[in-house]
């Protein structure tokens, strides 16, 4: 069945593309979840205006992501944590903690899944942490973990 994709389906199609997919996949998944519609003559007529709207929306999202990346690049976030001997933390600083600190200190909302920590931070000090905002946009922030008294 030929369908017109309304939303991006990972590893299948992007919005505005017309693809031939299995009938069951279209009827049971794509169409009920409003990810695609059956490619009829009426749908194809409105395709160009829809494509233009989708391109404008994508350009706006890209501009916002670039602005956020420029804002976050090189900023310094301070997190206070309980510290034991040899500057080791009693717990750890996770991506969730960093996302919350970015939100409170800068006002920008960052998804914790976008913060690329190989493992939680367990030592006090300065750590450089990349944030994957979008395609080719990976600003690095400095996370300063300070010990509390």
Number of domains present in the structure of the chain: 2
State which residues form the domain around 19. Answer: 2-45
Dist CA 49 CA 38 (whole Å): 17
Query: Is the residue at 107 inside a domain?
Result: yes
pLDDT tens readout for residues 80-115: 999 988 889 888 999 999 999 999 988 889 999 999
Give the CATH number for residue 143: 3.10.430.100
Angle of CA points 118, 124, 130, to nearest 5°:
35
Q: Mean pLDDT across the stretch 113-118? A: 91
More confident residue, 149 or 47: 47
Give the CATH number for residue 18: 3.40.5.10
Query: Is the residue at 139 inside a domain?
Result: yes
Predicted model pTM: 0.67
Same-domain pairing of 134 and 74: yes
Residue the block writes with tokens 């404008």: 56
Same-domain pairing of 17 and 87: no
Residue 19 pLDDT exceeds 80: yes
């Amino acid at each position: 069945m030929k369908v017109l994709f309304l939303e991006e389906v990972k590893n299948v199609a992007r919005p505005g593309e017309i693809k031939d997919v299995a009938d069951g996949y279209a009827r049971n998944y794509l169409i009920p979840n409003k990810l695609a519609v059956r490619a009829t003559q009426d749908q194809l007529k409105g395709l160009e205006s829809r494509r233009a709207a989708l391109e404008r929306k994508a350009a706006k999202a890209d501009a916002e992501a670039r602005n956020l990346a420029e804002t976050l690049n090189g900023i310094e976030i301070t997190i206070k944590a309980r510290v034991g001997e040899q500057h080791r933390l009693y717990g750890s600083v996770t991506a969730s903690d960093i996302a919350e600190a970015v939100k409170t200190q800068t006002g920008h909302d960052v998804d914790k899944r976008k913060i690329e920590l190989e493992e939680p931070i367990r030592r006090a000090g300065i750590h450089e942490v990349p944030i994957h905002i979008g395609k080719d946009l990976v600003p690095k922030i400095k996370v300063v973990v300070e010990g509390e008294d």
